[in-house]
Structure 1
């Protein structure tokens, strides 16, 4: 019998707060991927709808797995273990990239992936953290423990959206938190592919930090599992409230009214969706400091999800559902 040696898969974690630009970085890395590389992407979504995988550039040598329904760092290790075992066993990738939700605690994830039973299977590479200058300039982000944690546990901090930002002050803030991190400013001429091969140098002990109830189970229903449409949900996960819709593809929504309505939601942290509108299919990626709306291909259904820092009552969700359905043509 010819036994193949066990080779630990190079594994990169891409962190950053909600709306920082993790998916944009991931798409950029994909454009630099070597043609013979076989990548597996593990995308963790806070909500249940499953949208982020559809925002990523498709490639024949890339397999995407979405784990939805909470933070894989905080809802227990079983969902993460199951997903990793299946991905590594079924696809035998040359590289694994993990994008946790922007509400994740990277120290907890690093603690899980650094466990002894993963040493033969995973080779942790440099942790890449994305920081948006437009977020950083707001006190509510700079003083947020979760926001700071992404920077503290990174090997490389990539800063984007820095026009009009005091980059010297931003760099000083990063160095004060993590003096060992490599800082890449927006527009810097760096070999992004080479970043994936940088080693991980942890100088801080991983610690367990629970975002919500420590034993709260994750919803691991696949994003494309058969469900009855229209599908609606909302729930509180830890300190945040999340809700969304999956709707029949033939339903169309007034494009102008929809965008105006979404932007008027109070205190949202993130709004994302792929929706059939009167102007065609649109891809929406909205954060308080940035809006991206672009055309996209026809999909099997429309999807919309919103995350809030504040509690949203059942009655409010009911009103919102009626308002959204009122834009349907």
Structure 2
């Protein structure tokens, strides 16, 4: 008899550190186990999957919006392919930070997966500093990511002070439901044993909330048309706009030019995996701070920018092309 696969949902708003936490878990997983990761991103290009490539897991991406749309079909396609191809010992699912977790949990616990998956604790990451920002506190998705979690993890605590810790403790102490545990970590250092905690039966505060976006994700990975050196894709939904670029593997970017550019873009979120003249690099930018990670490999270079209003995408594209040694052409 096939044993149901332990499965965890890893949630959190934009910039909470979900990908870093999953990379930490992969680095510390049992060496004899194969793990699968299903990644959903708001942008069309897909960055997180490339960041996790070669990090000890089989990764399947569902880019371009909330994976639970249309009765969960994009998610089911990606999840079924992940299970069939890798036969994982555990599955981690990372939804977009702008997605609503209720529909995803409903699909995972439904009849179709009742004998396939063993749904374990949902883990929600948050930046404690955001608990002082009314825009986060009033966001329905942010509220339900917390309400539906079994483990709530304060991340990025190396950037917090005593007032942030006090605000975090008071916030969750005042909540009527205490069916969750809380933790205080830095750099996404989630404990492996939290994954085996049971899934609770929490109720969503906003069960009808849903992330609307401009297009449905494709089941096949995004590829470059023959003869093209790059493509650009845009998306929008829930008060946010994204623009992403996929570049040919033959292009090598100037590391210095990219670092200067990424520091100058006033975006809520920026992620990139790029083949640079200093080797493959991952860039992660939030609130004007750019962090860099060395990668073992990088095929096509990818850049994704998310903001709460459209940015001058054409100007950013021109600077990206210059960093790659290209002279941008007009349509």
Q: TM-score, normalised by structure 1?
A: 0.86
Instruction: Note closer, same or farther for the CA distance 1:71–1:195 as it changes in structure 2 (3 Å cut).
Output: same
Deviations along 1:84-133, one digit per CA (max 9) or x if unpaired, are 22222333222111111111111221122222222111121000111122
The Cα of 1:305 is off from its aligned counterpart by 0.8
Does structure 1 conserve the Cα–Cα contact (< 8 Å) formed by 2:248 and 2:301?
yes
Distance 1:174 1:223 in 2: 41
- Aligned residue in 2 for 1:138: 133
- Aligned residue in 2 for 1:274: 273
Does structure 1 conserve the Cα–Cα contact (< 8 Å) formed by 2:224 and 2:248?
no
- Answer yes or no: is 1:30 the counterpart of 2:4: no
Distance 1:229 1:45 in 2: 23
The Cα of 1:216 is off from its aligned counterpart by 5.0
The Cα of 1:13 is off from its aligned counterpart by 0.4
- Answer yes or no: is 1:107 the counterpart of 2:107: no
From 24, 38, 41, the equivalent of 1:42 is 38
Does structure 1 conserve the Cα–Cα contact (< 8 Å) formed by 2:37 and 2:92?
yes
Distance 2:286 2:136 in 1: 13
Instruction: Note closer, same or farther for the CA distance 1:57–1:326 as it changes in structure 2 (3 Å cut).
Output: closer
- Answer yes or no: is 1:318 the counterpart of 2:317: no
- Aligned residue in 1 for 2:287: 288
The Cα of 1:52 is off from its aligned counterpart by 0.6
Distance 2:87 2:131 in 1: 38
Deviations along 1:132-166, one digit per CA (max 9) or x if unpaired, are 22433433323332222211110001112223152
Moved over 6 A (4+): none
Does structure 2 conserve the Cα–Cα contact (< 8 Å) formed by 1:255 and 1:277?
yes
The Cα of 1:324 is off from its aligned counterpart by 2.6
Instruction: Note closer, same or farther for the CA distance 1:276–1:83 as it changes in structure 2 (3 Å cut).
Output: closer
- Answer yes or no: is 1:164 the counterpart of 2:173: no
- Aligned residue in 1 for 2:257: 257
- Aligned residue in 1 for 2:79: 84
- Aligned residue in 1 for 2:329: none
Q: TM-score, normalised by structure 2?
A: 0.86
Match of 1:77, SS? Answer: helix
The Cα of 1:46 is off from its aligned counterpart by 1.6
- Aligned residue in 2 for 1:232: 232
Distance 2:317 2:300 in 1: 17
Distance 1:83 1:118 in 2: 13
Deviations along 1:39-89, one digit per CA (max 9) or x if unpaired, are 1111112222222112226355x2111111111133541111112222223
Once superposed, what is the RMSD of the aligned Cα atoms?
2.7
Q: Please say which of residues 158-167 and 148-157 is displaced more in the overlay.
A: 158-167
Instruction: Note closer, same or farther for the CA distance 1:58–1:258 as it changes in structure 2 (3 Å cut).
Output: closer
Does structure 2 conserve the Cα–Cα contact (< 8 Å) formed by 1:134 and 1:289?
no
Aligned counterparts, 1:190-269, within 5 A? 192-204=191-203, 207-212=207-212, 216-223=215-222, 228-266=228-266, 268-269=267-268
Distance 1:259 1:124 in 2: 40
Instruction: Note closer, same or farther for the CA distance 1:34–1:327 as it changes in structure 2 (3 Å cut).
Output: closer
Instruction: Note closer, same or farther for the CA distance 1:240–1:74 as it changes in structure 2 (3 Å cut).
Output: farther
- Answer yes or no: is 1:181 the counterpart of 2:180: yes
Instruction: Note closer, same or farther for the CA distance 1:87–1:226 as it changes in structure 2 (3 Å cut).
Output: farther
Deviations along 1:156-213, one digit per CA (max 9) or x if unpaired, are 011122231521221221344453210011269x981211110001221582422116
Distance 1:252 1:86 in 2: 32
Runs of 5+ consecutive residues of structure 2 not aligned to the other structure: 326-331
Distance 2:110 2:16 in 1: 28
* Count of aligned residue pairs for this structure pair: 318
